[in-house]
Every structure is written in structure tokens, then in C-alpha cells.
Chain A
Amino acid sequence: MNTKILEINNLTAGYDEIVVLKNINFAVHQTDFIGIIGPNGGGKTTLIKCILGVIKPFSGSISYDFQAKGKDFRKFIGYLPQQNVIDKKFPISVREVVLSGLTSQKKLIFRFTTEEKKKADELLEKSGLKAISKNPIGELSGGQLQRVFLARAVISNPRLLILDEPSTYVDNRSEFEFYETLKELNKEIAILLVSHDIGTISSYIKTIACVNSNLHYHPSNEITSEELNIYNCPVDIIAHGAVPHRVLHEHSKPNK
């Protein structure tokens, strides 16, 4: 029973007058774990912003097939943005950051209910952050910070989780734990994982979408260099792709 939860038809989108994405056709199903790869500027982030409803496409359509339709779609999508711009001195507690993931469903003036606060505490407990839930966000390590943002993304019980370059600033061990958590989450939630580091993600993702102005979907997690060539995928991935990724993994390990 693998229901379709998101369908994109003939989507063309961009900024101002510059077209970044052309005629995208793409669908996400409930059990998917899709790696979105492609070069910088290829339109990965634009695609995500379209799905999140932040930018309106020039043409084409996106239909969401969650229980509720219309404007409510956003609460079914959890989002973990690229995290290189956080102000570490900002006065906000870990718990508040997690709770902020619930605000899309709120009225202009709102409070959090007791259940919502309980949910935040449960998530923090599960992520091993309970003891520091009242601490300011600036005191956290990269790995902890990432777990906080993951908790923020899933607190609204989404059916689709979108992650934008999640491993940019964490160490290897946290990265491993993080992907294991994603694997666990994928039992219930569809996941879209944007990365240009195909080496790390390929053992977790089930299928691949290559975005470079167009989108090409590969219904497996292995792609050959020929395929990448045909589809105009980025050069750095071709270089990696010529060697199977597992070999690459072992090569880099003893150096550390």
C-alpha cells in the first residue's frame, strides 16, 4: 500500500525572470526515501521551496495528497533547512526551537497546548537532549543542533520530511547516528534528502532524483557513470561515481 502523497506536473519555476527549473515531473510516495542530487545552482533548493509553498511556480502544478487538502498542506511537511546561518548568540532555548516547528498551524495570536509541550519534551527525551532542553541554543554542538532541528521538523507529525544538506556541519559519528534516525523515521514518513555528497547518502536512500534544471528520476540507489553523463549530472559526482561509493568510504576512513 504505497500511496502517492505528492505529485508535480510540468513545473517551471525560478526567481524574478530567471528560470531555474524546467518542466519538472516528479512524484513522492508514502514509503519513499529519495536522494535529490545535482550541482549547486541546479535548482535543488528551488524545488524544495516550491514544494514548501515559499515560491510560486511560473507554470505547472503541485498537488498534495494528504488527508486534508488546500492551505493546510504545510503541516504535513517537516523541513530541516541548511544550517549554516544560525546566530549562535540568539537568546532562545532548545525547547523553544523545537516548539517553533508547530507554528504553521497556529493563528496569528497563539499559545502552545499542554499536549504540544509534552510532545516537545518527548522528542527531546528521544534525542537525548532532555537535560539541556532549557539551555540556550548557542551552547550546543553541531550534532546536537542538528538533532534539535530534526525534532523541530517532525514535531508536527509530518508525512513528508524534507532535509536540505543536513550533514554540512557535523562530525562523522553524529552523521552516522543521524542517518540511522532517518532510517527509523522512514518507516512512517516519506523523506526527501537533498545532498551533493552522494557517497554518504547512497547507503540510506532508496531512489535518486537528479536535478539540474531538469529532473531525472532513478528508481534505484545506484547510478552508473553513463547514466550520469546522459543526464548532465555534476562532474564531481561522475568522478565519485566511477568508483563504487563503498570503496570511497573505506578509503577515507583510515586517514581520519
Chain B
Amino acid sequence: MKELVELLHYQYFINAIMASLLAAISCGIAGTYVVSRRIVFISGGITHTSFGGIGIGYFFGFNPVLGAAIFSVLSALGIEFFSGKGNIRNDSVIAMLWSLGMAIGVIFIYLTPGYAPNLMTYLFGSILTVNRTDLMMLAGLTLFIIAFFSLFFRRIQYISFDQEYASTLNLKVGFINYSLMTLVALTIVFNIKLVGIILLLSMLTIPQNTANLLTKDYKKIVFLSIFIGFAGSLFGLIFSYFLNIPSGATIIFSLVFLYLSTQLFVRLRKGF
């Protein structure tokens, strides 16, 4: 316990806690959208495609996160665009972009002379290396997401629920869907440092599904998943520090543990 308190004296640990909170909020909101609209696979595609941008960033010497942002937003918009067209299967588009992005990333990282020191950071996350710039970017995004969802909450809910009907009501389906896909993509990119590309899908799905075990109300799912996401990240952070394991992996373990305990709790209460 004493050691835990001492940890709070370190700036990097405070940063990590702040990052966990911001990640929990942004992923909690974006993830509820992703889960309820059943586009988890699309988010997986966006996450992995962003690796192409990271590779290009390495090769040309600019911030890999910027490259990832461009790649993920373009892939998100591309997927949303093609999903409206009939001549190609939606899930196939996702798989193609997914592997193409990874391939581009591999090629450019391979071509970059020398050793790519932070590569593991992007793949598996490294929350303890989060710096002030990362935090500012994540904070900006989180504020924007909160504002967007508060202003358009009903539209978002109605369109996700019944897009066919919403389009007959002139609900601005296109504007809302493209904006949300962009926000989901940015959420993914800005959270890469936390758990890494490979494990990011968990932050968008596990807290939401845990919350959904307890409530069927959209808003309550959002708030509960923020809480669960933050709790899971904190536990993960502490395990990661004491066991010296990558934080991404410990965070996911904590989230899955919370999910399973909630599942057990709900079943016990129902008497199986």
C-alpha cells in the first residue's frame, strides 16, 4: 500500500492515471456506439489499418500518430462509403483494408534504416510513457466527443437503431454516420498508446458489454462503461507496474475479469 502511495509522486504515473480516465471516457462513449450498432469488426479494421500510417510516419520521420490518424480516418470513411454500395461485401472491404494497412506498415518499418525503438509501444501499448502532448490530444478529443454526443444524442440513437426508417425521416443519416466514424477512428488512434493496436478493440467492447449486463438503457451503458473502463485500466496499471508486464495486456485482463465477475453476479442474482 505504501508503495502505491509513493507511485503517486511520479509524474509518469499521474499521467498514466489521467490517460486512463480520458481513455475510459472517449472509449466508453465511442464504444457504446460501436457495440450497439454492431460495427465492432469495422473498428477492428480501422485499428489495424492505422498501422500503415505508423509505418509511413517512421519512414518519413514525422509523428507516427499523425500517420495513424490519417490512415484510420480514411479507412473509416472508406468503409462507411462502401457499406452503402451494393457491389462489394462490407466485411470483405474491412478485411482488405485491415491487411493492406498492416502490410504497408510492415513494408515501411522494414525499409526504415536502423531499429524502430517504439514499435512495441504502438503494437502493445505503453501507458507509462504517455506524455503531456498525448494527454492534451486525448483531452481535446474527449471533450469533442462529449459535446458531439450530447448535442446529437437522439439522432445518433435513432439512426443506429433503425437506419432505414431514419433515412425516410430526413434525419441527416449521412452526416451523422460519417462524423461518428471519424470520431471512432480518432478515438482509436489517440488511445493506441494506452493498450496498443492489437488490444484496442477490448476498450471499445468489454466495458460496454459488461455495462449491458446490468442495464438496457443507452445513456446508462455509456456512464457505466466509462466507470468500468476506468476501473479496469487502474487495476491493469497497478498489476503492470508490480508484475512488470506490458500495461495493455494487464488492462485487458482486468476488463475481462470485471466482465466475468459481473456475468457471474447477474446469473447468481437470477438464480441461474
A residues apposed to B, CB below 8 Å:
49, 52-54, 74, 79, 81, 85-87, 90-93, 96-97, 100-101, 103-104, 108-110, 136-138, 152
- Inter-chain CA distance A85–B154, complex, in Å, is 20
Q: Is the CB of B158 within 8 A of A91?
A: no
Q: Is the CB of B169 within 8 A of A103?
A: yes
Q: Is the CB of A109 within 8 A of B218?
A: no
**Which of these, A74, A93, A110, contacts B169 with CB under 8 Å?**
A74
Q: Is the CB of A79 within 8 A of B161?
A: no
**Which of these, B154, B160, B218, contacts A103 with CB under 8 Å?**
B154
Specify which of B36, B162, B172 lies most central, judged by the most chain A CB atoms within 10 Å of its CB: B162
B residues apposed to A, CB below 8 Å:
36, 38, 151-152, 154-155, 157-158, 160-162, 164-172, 212, 215-218, 221
Task: Report B-chain residues with C-beta under 8 Å of the C-beta of A100.
Answer: 154, 158, 161-162, 165-166, 169
Q: Is the CB of B218 within 8 A of A91?
A: yes
Can you list 21 contacts pairing A with B, beta carbon distance less than 8 Å? Answer: A52-B168, A54-B168, A74-B170, A79-B165, A81-B162, A86-B161, A90-B36, A90-B160, A91-B216, A91-B217, A91-B218, A91-B221, A92-B161, A97-B161, A100-B161, A100-B165, A100-B166, A101-B169, A103-B155, A136-B217, A152-B165
Q: Is the CB of A104 within 8 A of B169?
A: yes
**Which of these, A74, A87, A110, contacts B161 with CB under 8 Å?**
A87
- Inter-chain CA distance A87–B212, complex, in Å, is 15
Q: Is the CB of A85 within 8 A of B164?
A: yes
- Inter-chain CA distance A53–B166, complex, in Å, is 12
Chain B residue at minimum C-beta to C-beta distance from A138: B216
Chain B residue at minimum C-beta to C-beta distance from A97: B161
Task: Report B-chain residues with C-beta under 8 Å of the C-beta of A52.
Answer: 168
Q: Is the CB of A104 within 8 A of B172?
A: no
Q: Is the CB of A108 within 8 A of B216?
A: no
Task: Report B-chain residues with C-beta under 8 Å of the C-beta of A54.
Answer: 167-168
Shortest Cβ distance from residue B178 to the other chain A in the assembled complex, whole angstroms: 14
**Which of these, A81, A91, A92, contacts B164 with CB under 8 Å?**
A81
Chain B residue at minimum C-beta to C-beta distance from A80: B165
- Inter-chain CA distance A91–B168, complex, in Å, is 21
- Inter-chain CA distance A110–B215, complex, in Å, is 26
- Inter-chain CA distance A81–B166, complex, in Å, is 11
- Inter-chain CA distance A91–B38, complex, in Å, is 12
Closest 5 CB pairs of A and B: A136-B216, A91-B218, A104-B169, A100-B158, A52-B168
Chain A residue at minimum C-beta to C-beta distance from B87: A16
Q: Is the CB of B152 within 8 A of A86?
A: no
- Inter-chain CA distance A90–B38, complex, in Å, is 9
- Inter-chain CA distance A227–B161, complex, in Å, is 42
Shortest Cβ distance from residue B150 to the other chain A in the assembled complex, whole angstroms: 10
Q: Is the CB of B38 within 8 A of A87?
A: yes
Chain A residue at minimum C-beta to C-beta distance from B163: A85
Task: Report A-chain residues with C-beta under 8 Å of the C-beta of B165.
Answer: 79, 81, 100, 152
Q: Is the CB of B157 within 8 A of A96?
A: yes
- Inter-chain CA distance A96–B156, complex, in Å, is 12
Q: Is the CB of A103 within 8 A of B171?
A: yes
Task: Report A-chain residues with C-beta under 8 Å of the C-beta of B216.
Answer: 91, 136, 138
- Inter-chain CA distance A207–B154, complex, in Å, is 39
Q: Is the CB of B157 within 8 A of A92?
A: yes
Chain B residue at minimum C-beta to C-beta distance from A75: B169
**Which of these, A92, A93, A109, contacts B151 with CB under 8 Å?**
A109
Shortest Cβ distance from residue B133 to the other chain A in the assembled complex, whole angstroms: 32
**Which of these, A79, A81, A93, A104, contacts B217 with CB under 8 Å?**
A93
Chain A residue at minimum C-beta to C-beta distance from B170: A104
- Inter-chain CA distance A139–B168, complex, in Å, is 25
Task: Report A-chain residues with C-beta under 8 Å of the C-beta of B164.
Answer: 81, 85
Apart from A90-B36, A108-B152, 11 more pairs, CB < 8 Å: A54-B168, A74-B169, A81-B168, A86-B162, A87-B38, A91-B215, A96-B158, A100-B166, A103-B155, A109-B151, A109-B152
- Inter-chain CA distance A137–B162, complex, in Å, is 12
- Inter-chain CA distance A93–B171, complex, in Å, is 19
